């Protein structure tokens, strides 16, 4: 008997955002700055980086 692992266990919903400039999908791996960690830690905010135009922007994640 072969057990197949369900797909929805390991695939977590990734927060995605689009660059306001070039409309490409942003990478969410950018680190949050100390300012965000200190003052905006209560906000569902994420620092996204666009590797196309090399700029970071903060995006509010709606849940």
Q: Which residues bind Zn ion (CB under 5 A)?
A: 19, 21-22, 50, 52-53
Q: Which is nearer to Zn ion, 53 or 61 (CB)?
A: 53
> Least distance in Å: CB of 10 to Zn ion?
29
CA 43 vs CA 8, 12, 40, 62: distances in Å: 27, 21, 5, 10
CA-based nearest residue to 25, from 55, 51, 63, 60:
51
Least separation in angstroms between CB 54 and Zn ion: 8
Residue 25 or 60 having the CB closest to Zn ion: 25
């Amino acid at each position: 008997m072969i057990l197949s692992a369900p797909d929805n266990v390991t695939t977590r919903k990734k927060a995605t955002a689009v660059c306001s400039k070039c409309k490409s999908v942003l990478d969410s791996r950018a680190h949050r700055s100390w300012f965000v960690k200190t003052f905006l830690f209560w906000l569902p905010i994420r620092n996204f980086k666009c590797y196309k135009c090399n700029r970071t922007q903060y995006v509010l994640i709606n849940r």
